[in-house]
């Protein structure tokens, strides 16, 4: 596992662990982010343009549930995540009078969409898990319409010292809470620390986006150690 991705054994083990987080996902996420996660999700929602939006790595639908008034496609490789998300998201959309969202089982690295399909792509707390980040971003570029945004949120490090503090926070505080909530010493949230440790800095992914040909590339740390937001456009 490194800044650019991970091998297939690690990724498959990560997927097994992510599946186990489903019943406690929102609760632990709120705790791990000190309740800030709703605010970060709102920032992304406010940046989405009108039209057809793709969320890559939708997980159990925590972000997608509150995407209002847009045509929405949710992609995730884990069938259990998609089943949980579909129920929750489409119930909320039905109550609001939005058309149902579409749920697709696949990965960022291999998207089953035509070129120039989407007006925006977002990915929250998933980019860290992509096994080949360059390939996933190239796919985003391919399926985005021209001059359309990709918006990514994940906890990047500012520098090495900051990374060490972040790992301590995840391992001790969040890890202890997850152990209590999950009721098991070997709880699946251990993988959060692992992917966090190997994830790069804000600047690493600004460079990656620019190198792949995105324009208007910007990044902002919205909460040090917990959330950076990257914004870029297809040319
Ligand atoms: C932590 S959840 C994020 C859920 C949601 N987006 C949110 O805001 O809370 C990360 C999701 O990314 C998905 N994921 C992992 N590897 C992926 C890949 N290569 N391509 C797309 N999604 C991936 C996982 O299956 C998981 O459901």
Residue 200 token pair: 């790069």
pLDDT tens, 191-205?
Answer: 777 787 788 889 999
pLDDT at residue 135 greater than cutoff 90:
yes
Crossing angle (nearest 10°) for helices 25-32 and 37-47: 100
Query: Which atom of ligand 1 is found nearest the CA of 132?
Result: 19
pLDDT at residue 42 greater than cutoff 70:
yes
Q: Which of 27, 59, 104, 137 has most ligand 1 atoms within 8 Å of CB, for mutation?
A: 59
Assess whether the C-beta atom of 57 lies below 6 angstroms from ligand 1. yes
pLDDT at residue 46 greater than cutoff 70:
yes
Assess whether the C-beta atom of 18 lies below 6 angstroms from ligand 1. yes
pLDDT at residue 210 greater than cutoff 70:
yes
Residue 12's SS3 state is helix
Instruction: Specify the pLDDT at position 175.
Output: 72
Percent of the chain with pLDDT over 70: 95
169 in Cβ contact with 225 (< 8 Å):
yes
Instruction: Return d(Cα 27, Cα 170) in angstroms, integer.
Output: 15
Residue located nearest, by CA, to atom 10 of ligand 1 = 126
Residue 204 CA to its chain's centroid (Å): 17
pLDDT tens, 112-131?
Answer: 999 999 999 999 999 999 99
Q: What is the pTM of this model?
A: 0.93
- Confidence category of residue 188, pLDDT binned at 50, 70, 90: low
What is the pLDDT of the chain when averaged over all its residues? 90
Residue located nearest, by CA, to atom 13 of ligand 1 = 57
Which residue's entry shows tokens 């900051």? Answer: 162
Query: Which atom of ligand 1 is found nearest the CA of 153?
Result: 8
Tell me the average pLDDT across 162-179.
73
Instruction: Return d(Cα 6, Cα 25) in angstroms, integer.
Output: 23
Question: Exposed/middle/buried for 159, CB within 10 Å: 0-12, 13-18, 19+?
Answer: exposed
Instruction: Specify the pLDDT at position 183.
Output: 72
């Amino acid at each position: 596992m490194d800044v650019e991705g991970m091998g297939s054994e690690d990724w498959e083990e990560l997927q097994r662990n992510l599946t186990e987080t489903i019943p406690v996902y929102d609760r632990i996420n709120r705790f791990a982010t000190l309740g800030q996660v709703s605010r970060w999700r709102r920032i992304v929602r406010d940046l989405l343009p009108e039209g057809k939006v793709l969320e890559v790595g939708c997980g159990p639908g925590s972000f997608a549930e509150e995407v209002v008034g847009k045509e929405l496609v949710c992609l995730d490789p884990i069938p259990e995540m998609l089943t949980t998300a579909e129920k929750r998201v489409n119930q909320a959309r039905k109550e609001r009078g939005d058309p149902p969202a579409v749920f697709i089982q696949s990965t960022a690295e291999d998207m089953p969409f035509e070129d120039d399909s989407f007006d925006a792509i977002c990915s929250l707390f998933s980019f860290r898990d992509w096994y080949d980040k360059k390939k996933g971003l190239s796919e985003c570029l391919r399926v985005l319409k021209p001059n359309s945004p990709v918006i990514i949120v994940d906890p990047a490090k500012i520098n090495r010292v900051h990374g060490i503090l972040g790992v301590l926070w995840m391992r001790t505080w969040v890890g202890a809470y997850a152990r209590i909530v999950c009721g098991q010493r070997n709880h699946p949230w251990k993988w959060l620390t692992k992917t966090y440790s190997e994830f790069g800095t804000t600047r690493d992914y600004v460079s990656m986006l620019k190198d792949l040909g995105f324009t208007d590339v910007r990044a902002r740390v919205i909460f040090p150690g917990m959330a950076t937001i990257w914004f870029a456009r297809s040319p």
